[in-house]
Each structure stands twice: as C-alpha cells, then as structure tokens.
Structure 1
Amino acid sequence: MSTISSASLLPAINAAPVLADARLHYVLRHFALAYEAVPAGLIGYADTQQSITVADAAAGFFQAQEPYPAAPNYREWAGQRVPVFFDAQPALPLLELAPGRCRINADLISAAFYLLSGWQEYYSDSRDRHGRFPYAASVQKRYGFVALPVVNYYFDVLRAAVEYVTGQPLRPRRWAGGAPVAAFISHDIDNLRSSWKVPAKADLKAVRLLRFGRRLWRHLTQPDAWDNLETVAATVASYGARSTFFILPEHRPGADGTPNADYRIDRPLWRRFLHLASQGFELALHGSIGTATDFARLSSEQSETFAEPASGIRFHYLRWEPRQTPMQLEALVMAGLRYDAALGFAEHYGFRHSYCHPFYPFDFTRGQPHSFLEIPLQVMDATLHHPNYLQLRADEILPALQPMLAEIEKFGGVASILWHNDHFDPANILTGPRQFAEIMAYLQQRGAAFLTGSQIVADLCGA
C-alpha cells in the first residue's frame, strides 16, 4: 500500500519533552486500571526510595523526536518471548528480588509508555493513502509482535513485583457480572443499498442483460440484502449480547473521492435506529471522511445526527491523525463524548498500541492523558480477507484469531470486534455471518461479558 512520507502534508508536531515523572504517572495510572486494588506509592525509578525500583534506561530518547528506539531485547516471561525496549542490561535478570524490595532491570516504564502512548505514529511521517499510520511502518510489524499485548506483559512483571513486596495477590480486573474478559462487538453502518452493484456490473460486463434486468428490478422493488439492521441485532441478541452501531451521517463522497454512506438518514431509517436503541443496542457516531481533521464538520455531524450527543465515535476507514484527531475529540468531551474506537490496524488483526485494555490516549501537546477513553480495535472483518490485507480463507479465520483472543483472556482485557452489517449478507461466505457466528460462539464459551462501548466506559470509570 502506498505511503505518504512528506512532513509538509501533515500537521506540525506540537509537543514538549516527556519527562520521567510524566511517563511514570501515565503508565501507573493504566496499571491501576488493569488490576484490582493496586497499592499506591510502591513503584519508582532507581533513584527513588520506593520498594520497587525500575532501571532508567531511556537515555534522553523522550527529549528528542525520533519515532523509533533501538531494537528491543527479548526476555522470557509468563511463557512468552517478550520484546523489551529500553533494556540496557539484558544479562541481568528481569526481576531481581531482595528482602522487602525488588528491582526491575529494564526500563519497563519507558517501554510501556512508548507503546501505549502511540509515540511511534505521532513522530513518524508515514501515512497511507487514507491518511493512516500504516502497519508496515510500525514496530509491531518490524519486530513481529502485533498479536501480542506486550504492555500487558510489562504490567505482569509489575504485578509480580507488587505481589512479592506486599505478600498479597494482585488480581486482574473483572468485568460486568464478574466476567474474566469483555467483548465489544460493533458494526460500522457504511452501506445499506448496494449489495446488487457488484453482481450487476458483472452481468453487464458479461452481456447477461436478462439477468441484469432481473437484478435491477429486485433492487427497485425489494429490500436490499444489506438493509439488514434488524437481522444484525437479532443475530447478536441470540448470544445474549448487545452491540454498538456506528452511524455514518454523510452520503456524499469525501473531498478525496472516498465514498461515505450509500444511504441518507431519513425519518423511517432513524426510527429503526431508535428501535434498536430501545432494545439495548448502542448508537454511536461514524465520523465521515475528512472529519478526523476537521473539527467544524465533526462537531456538526455530532450535533445534527443525535438529539443527545453520542458517547462514542469511530472514524470512517479508521482514519486518525495522531497530531490532530485526539485534540478534536478532547474538545467534544464536554459535549458528551466518552470514547473512541478507531485505533486498530486495518492491515492486520492485533494490538496497535500493544495493549488489550481500554486506555487514555496521551496528549503530547500538554504532556498528560486525554480525558476520553480509547477502546482499541483488534479485529475488522475486511482485514481478514481484503485483497490488500490478509486474504485468509474462511476456515483459517478463527484459528488465526484464537491465540490473540487467548492473550486478551489471559489479562482480562477487551476483545473488540468490528463486523460491518454488509458482512451479514449470506452471500458472503468468506467473512460473513458464519465466520461471525464462530467468533461469537468462541467468546461466549470463554465467558465473555458482551458490553457496548458506553457500558465499558461505565464499568471501567465507574460513571
């Protein structure tokens, strides 16, 4: 996939150096969200008096603007070979124990901050043709760990240290009803009217005029196969679950010609969406092409589409400009925005920020966390078989995903699955309803709590 590498096409970098205390605060805030009742004040850098000390090995990296640190070393931890950035003493044990104290001999605070904050994409100038930071430019691709939640392994080292010092177990957080893992199922509603177009074009190309005429007549007189909101909801509900529908307000193409919705939101359609909401499904905003970098249009779509502001957003085509989009979302928080759900790689399933829990994106301008939550995306249907992406066969999908889903379960995280409504068309035998059913059955068997985005925010933040 082509990339744009010219910095002149991107917003300017507007960031201050991130000092050790800021990195420590950011990382420990998320550590405390991942486990229950984490004691405060135990962890610090080696020049402090805390019971658990971490080697300071960043060597000025965060005072510069390089997107990539030195290559990681690899350490064995919890049955995995884990890449560890900022590991200046690889010959020493990762965790060194002494009576009442322990030392972590790699800078796991800086390593966790680097991955979780999205440092690489903020400072990199690489973007694909949709303006996204590409998987090909990531450390996850370079070092082969996209399906491993590396930050969770760093946190597991911290957990072991805390348990040793305190003598008390530190348990992963539980989700609604005491579930060991959560699942966030979502649907981007891009197309409701276009299932007939591809086969119709094929008929015309092959001069099958009678078949084309019949197809056109069905299109004009019968509901489209993708006009299936109720079918999607019923399918999800059959697993005792509720999901989140991201609604795309704009039907005109973006300025770059990228299509938006193939429908207009008229009153009958909106009544259908409201009926889904009355059944416990969530309605959220699917920001149209261009809104990730245009606050006026984004704010207009939010206010004109929803009578009450939507709590969640995901941008169409997973667009996200790290130097601009988070600040736009921060400006919508006062209007009711609580979370974003766009941060996954379109090209590969896995962990774009190497973390399987929701997190607060880092504000590089102010040097502190943003106030909206990110529910990172791990699986998108199109990723699994799109010609530009993985091209998995139907029977390869669940086996490919199971190791990643097992990692999420291991750490009590959130499995975020995006399945577009048009992929519920029975004609789709590659990434269609059968493959969705296999994933849902697997999650159900593993005891996942199926939660909407707003429910995840409430569960995690207590409001």
Structure 2
Amino acid sequence: MPASIIAPAVPVAAASISSEVRLAYVLQHFWQAYEPTSPVTIGVPGQQAQVEVAVADAGFFDQRQPYPPAPIWHEWQGREVPFFFGPAAGQPLLTLQSGRALVHADLVSAAFYLLSGWQEYFSEERDQHGRFPYAASVQHQYGFVDVPVVNCYFEVLRTAVEHVTGEQLRPRRWLGGAKWAAFVTHDVDSLFGSWKAPAKAALQQGRLLETFQIAMRSLAGVDAWNNLEAVQATARKHGAPSTFFMLGSTQKAANGTPNADYRVSAPGMQRRLRNLQASGAELSVHGSIGTATDAAKLRREKQLLPGTVSGNRFHYLSWEPRLTPGLVDAEGFGYDSTLGFPEHFGFRNSYCLPFQPFNFATGRACSFLEIPLNVMDATLHHPSYLQLAPQEILPALEPMLQEIERFGGVCTLLWHNDHFDPANTVTGPRQFAALMEYLRSRNVAFMTGQQIVNDQKPS
C-alpha cells in the first residue's frame, strides 16, 4: 500500500468486535438480500449449525491492522473471485452433505472486512480532501473494484442454504417486482458557473463586450447550469424520479474548496424546491465541506430544506470513517449515499445492495441505510480520474451494471446538474441519455432514496 498522504487527526476508538458480532452483522445483511425461506442455522464450527462456515482469520481482527493477507482466488460460478481468509488454493469452497453444508472459506470474516469498511477505519491513508483514497484500497491493489465480492460470498452461502432447505433462495425484488433498481441523483454544487469558461476565453481573445454580456446574463440568472427544472424533466422523460442533493453553505472550506454559489435559504430558491417536490422530486442534504465531522453544522443545513428530508450525501464525498457514521446516525437520517470512490466507478464496500454501515465505536450496525454510490459523471472524464472518451463510457460501465442486475442490487448514478449543460459533449446530456436508455432496456425500477429505504430497510 502507498505511504500515508495525510494522517487523520481522529484517533482510533473501537469497541471489542467479537466473532459473534461479526457473524451477526454479516448474517443480518445476508438475510436482507434474499426473500424469506424456511429457518436454517448458519454458524461456525462447534455451534452445530446446519451451514457451518470455517474460521480462518488467525486473530486478524484483534490486531487492528488495516490490511489482511492477500486473498486467494477461487473459481465460483464461472469466474475468479478473491477470497480473504482461505481456503488454500486447490481446496473446495463448499462441501454438501446430507442435511448439512460445510463452507471452507471464512466468508464471515471476509464479508465483514469488506462490508464494514475495516480498511478505511484502521488505515491512516487520506487524500488532500481528507478522504480514504482508492489507491490505498484492497479493491485497487487486487483489481476487483467493479465486482461486488461480498455478493459473491453471499452466493456461496445461498448455495449452502438451498442445499439444506431444499428451497430456492430468491433475491429480493424491488418496486413493482423488478429484479434490480436505479437511484438517479444530482448533486447541485453550482447554478451560476457556466459563464466562467466562455467568459475567460472571450477575455483572453480581447472580446471585452462579449465578456461583459456573458457575465451579465449569469448575474440575471440566465445560466446553463441554473437548470433544476430541466434536469428533473430530462430524468422524468426516461422514467426516473430525480433526487437533488442541495448544498446549505456558500462559505469555502479552509483549504479553499468551494461550496455552493447559491443560497438554498433564499425565498426564490425555496419556492423552486417546493415546486420540484410537488412534481415528484426528492430533496436531500448535500452536506457541505466540514459537515462530515460537524453534527451541528449538518443539522443546520438539513433544516434549510423544505418538507421532510431523509437523505444525505457529503460534498466531495467527504467521509471520516472514525466519526461520520455515528454522526449521520445521531442526526436521524434515513439514508446516506456518499460511499463510492471518486477515482473509479464500482463498489467501495464490495457490495451492490444498500447496507447498514458498521459503527466501530459502538460495535453495532448503524440504523441508517447506506445506498452506495456506483458511478459519478466526473469520475468518467476528470483529469485526475479515468479520462474516458464519450464513446467509451457505456461500454466501460456495462460489466458493472450487469453485476448489479445479476445480484438484484441498486445502481446509484450521480449526474451533476452542470453536466446537463449542452456544451458538455463528454459527460453531458447525450451520455446521460445513453446510460438511462440502457437501464430502461434492462427493466430497472427507478426509485428515490426514500423509496429504497421503505422497500429495503428492516423495521
């Protein structure tokens, strides 16, 4: 792993995380992933369980190290899957006996490690924005960011359960009985910034009158990015409700990172937001820089939005694993949708379903639902990220989308409002339309965050 970039100032404070806690956390999510079936016991050796899962972590979770030994790759259902904590190469993953099933991989430890975000919590790696970097992850090191490995582990368990019960264990269905779902979101960072690039170009070429006219149109609110209603109409044309994540602060962060260039509390903006809600959009908080570690500030920004607000996504995908999960939980959010790598599309926690993050400070699952972020427009062509050409975007994403559909998961798509600018020909309206048409062609259920919470989160 790379050397530390910025060590977090937040100290490690973790409760004792026993094997029983890890087993309960993993099984909680396993049973949420499938429709109910006949009762079956899943446990470790010595518990007389019908499905027995090996224990092979060798005390890893007592050491508080961020990275385990390298995974061993095994073929499962025609693909090579990385298995942390065994079994050794050449050994079977699963043995089926009369009325019993023996899982020879320590799937509980491996699933807990990835799903809980253990590597982020115990790593000191952070980037210039205080985020755990993709380059420091096991997903990057072993090349499986676009494969939901925890879902693969669950498929091994599913096979064992089906053998014991004699019943098919079906993935859960979504709104209207769809096999999978899509969550279409828009982070609203700027409404008045489209003029800057053309104005700069005109100024550099000495076209002073044109520069002045461009600036005046923006000041009058005539800006290609001041387009929330048009964004909603575009998504609705493809059959999807829009979820807008709205920034509540106009102050730059201490390091100069910008927040909003609009005031969400302005009367005119409040009217627009209420109208968007009335026409089917969902409004959620886009926690400004600093709110991922400041509960009071996040609470104030939540209160600025009209109506009932259930969701949050932090600006710049800020997330301090040692503080943020407990903070989001305490503030009563129904869901968060921050956890994706800005540098690469895929699965930050190696899971394609919503899940309840693990709170290491308390040793329990959080009560809010994390709806993982899978793909962001900026990731696809930002100079620091993937730099895909327009024609490369959908082919690059299709394998990941096929994984989500295969496991009955949720595809969370982030397309910023400024990327709906017709001048954007790289990650703009045309690329958004191609992705939406693909999703429609695969009979996805388009849902808001709150609908996903209502459908998936246990009571």
Q: Distance in 2 between matches of 1:220 and 1:5?
A: 40
Map of 1:431 onto structure 2: 427
Contact 2:130-2:318 within 8 A present in 1 as well: yes
Q: Distance in 1 between matches of 2:358 and 2:449?
A: 20
Greater Cα shift, 255-264 or 153-162:
255-264
Map of 2:263 onto structure 1: 264
Map of 2:397 onto structure 1: 401
One-letter amino acid matched to 1:70: P
Residue 277 of structure 1, CA deviation: 0.6
Map of 2:169 onto structure 1: 170
Deviations 1:151-198 (A, max 9, x none): 000000011001111110000000010000000000001110110011
Residue correspondence of structure 1 range 360-439 to structure 2 within 5 A: 360-439=356-435
One-letter amino acid matched to 2:451: Q
Residue 99 of structure 1, CA deviation: 1.1
Q: Distance in 1 between matches of 2:246 and 2:452?
A: 19
Map of 2:290 onto structure 1: 290
SS in 2 for 1:246: strand
SS in 1 for 2:443: coil
Map of 1:193 onto structure 2: 192
For structure 2, which runs of at least 5 residues remain unmatched after alignment? none
Residue correspondence of structure 1 range 104-253 to structure 2 within 5 A: 104-221=103-220, 223-253=222-252
SS in 2 for 1:127: coil
Residue 100 of structure 1, CA deviation: 1.2
Map of 1:61 onto structure 2: 60
The verdict on how the C-alpha distance between 1:256 and 1:5 changes in structure 2, with shifts beyond 3 A counting, is same
Residue 459 of structure 1, CA deviation: 0.6
Q: Distance in 2 between matches of 1:450 and 1:6?
A: 39
Q: Distance in 2 between matches of 1:3 and 1:421?
A: 36
Residue 90 of structure 1, CA deviation: 2.9
Deviations 1:223-257 (A, max 9, x none): 10000011100011112220210010111211221
Contact 2:187-2:415 within 8 A present in 1 as well: yes
Map of 1:102 onto structure 2: 101
Residue 300 of structure 1, CA deviation: 1.7
Equivalent residues, number: 457
When the two structures are superposed, what TM-score results if normalisation uses the length of structure 2? 0.97
Map of 1:352 onto structure 2: 348
Contact 1:54-1:106 within 8 A present in 2 as well: yes
SS in 1 for 2:115: helix
Contact 1:313-1:339 within 8 A present in 2 as well: yes
One-letter amino acid matched to 2:272: R
Q: Distance in 2 between matches of 1:444 and 1:64?
A: 47
Q: Distance in 1 between matches of 2:428 and 2:47?
A: 55
Residue 98 of structure 1, CA deviation: 1.1
One-letter amino acid matched to 2:442: R
The verdict on how the C-alpha distance between 1:237 and 1:130 changes in structure 2, with shifts beyond 3 A counting, is same
Greater Cα shift, 269-278 or 172-181:
269-278
Contact 2:94-2:103 within 8 A present in 1 as well: yes
For structure 1, which runs of at least 5 residues remain unmatched after alignment? none
Q: Distance in 2 between matches of 1:395 and 1:360?
A: 36
When the two structures are superposed, what TM-score results if normalisation uses the length of structure 1? 0.96
Contact 2:273-2:306 within 8 A present in 1 as well: no
Contact 1:3-1:129 within 8 A present in 2 as well: no
The verdict on how the C-alpha distance between 1:231 and 1:359 changes in structure 2, with shifts beyond 3 A counting, is same
Q: Distance in 2 between matches of 1:382 and 1:76?
A: 34
One-letter amino acid matched to 2:70: A
1:330 equivalent in alignment to 2:321: no
One-letter amino acid matched to 1:192: L
Contact 2:33-2:353 within 8 A present in 1 as well: yes
Contact 1:351-1:376 within 8 A present in 2 as well: yes
One-letter amino acid matched to 1:109: V
Residue 222 of structure 1, CA deviation: 5.7
